[in-house]
Structure 1
């Protein structure tokens, strides 16, 4: 672990030097990448610097143990320093766990009504409001790019962009099937209905990440439409981008959030590329038969991840256990998702630590008396 930590510390120094380079300042994309990497490495480097300082203090305290007048004080200081050093080692171990390379990216958020008809459409708008408030609390911005609205105030589909610092890290746990149990406003008998909404969270891809052959994309331009067919723009600014139209590989994206046809075209192509990238990642996962398909963040949309039970004022995240599993619905639906997300992040880190421990145990077994190359003959 020590060599890897020093490598990262050296990288941090390189990033700091490059951040002061006028050429990097002039390149917005490169500067953005450097600042994100600086934020990622800063907690680790801060701990390393604290550890180095404590090790120096520890050496001085141990020297004082030989002085009868200072022994008692030095003994207490050695104990305190050793305890903090142990904590730092644990914290560094967590920081060295694999991170999602998409965490720093912006997000394409897709909400689609599932089972439940009009009630599912109403819950789409409830979730959109929840996510908007959650994003605002994290200084993220949500911009609706396309919505198939209904006359009842719901929507069969909403596509939005979430931008800001580490948007994907904040939203990646939301992908999957969300189930709501409540009495619909149109239910006269007071019966509880169950509806579902599918949430997809796509990290926005950058231009150099995936090649989108524009010869395979058909671009249609038309007048933007609001709920009930009412025109919301006076110009033909809405853009429909269709990848490999009429084939099994077809992907369709609509963007009509702005009055600029050029900007809508650019954004539609970003969403199209993000969906294509997700499709390719899913194909690789299937081919390699990894465990990602059964884990949080795998992109498996058929999995029921959370239930919103209105009669009991309870949100249950089915990926969690114990106290982390249940939360008050009135808080969560108003955007208080941080405790839920924190629980999911903790569970993921615990899983990674267990896998690391299992791997270390396997490596030791292979190197000792269980058939490893250094085992007894």
Structure 2
């Protein structure tokens, strides 16, 4: 196995790949630090808030614990999430239930080929009575936005939505309108229907913090779903009681931003990103040929932000290497892009990601 460079090392000769990853040098590890690490009292407050969310969420949602965790990670980390699954697996219910739980505004946008950017961001309407234009904000101006079947909207509409996600604002008639905080976009796409769809470009996929694959419920969970249908719990008109406020979400985000990440783990993240771009010496040329493009620096940023959120969800004020491993598919499955040859041979991105992680020593 060939060695790769370590950020901040004084020498151009990298350390042995069989040893533990070297920590960055003092010049690399020093820099602006958070205004104090999260304390035990911060952790206790976060756990109380998270428990309230979990209890309220579970009153309507059956199973889908992994989906709940992914949504909470995205919310706490301040990112957006892309969900992929066949229809009928409660993606809309999960999004609306989370919004109800947090006492936040929620909008659902059903994407179609004729959907215009102004249908999402908003537009100016002429008022004949006053002889002036008035601004009507679009559905993107909400705390939680469910963008259903994003790959059914045109490239122009996708770009408008993803620009709003990145800039956290929209421009209508020359006026800038800030989006509310927190702002979470939950986009979905259906992998089994390709007619009339516009596949998301790689650069736009990269803007999603996480990509989750939603799976079928177990037989026991499906049985419970039927019971809740009969009891009326899943009635669309029945909402869960609001459990926490937006201020509570802001507190979670603030506490998560102060979760400690050791320089060795930061180094581990950088090493992993490097191997996705230079895979041959580490996973072998036979497997490396399946990788078309490696992960951008957004992957490293996503690991940094999401691992802090996951640590907080796990009841810790520090990140462990296990957090990075647990996030590997969520962060990299839409960033490590495979070739057509890989698709033809049935090679999944998760397999390649697992091999990349196996090739990098854990700190």
Q: TM-score, normalised by structure 1?
A: 0.20
Larger-Rg structure? 1
If each structure's helix is expressed as a fraction of its own residues, which one has the higher value?
Answer: 1
Q: TM-score, normalised by structure 2?
A: 0.21
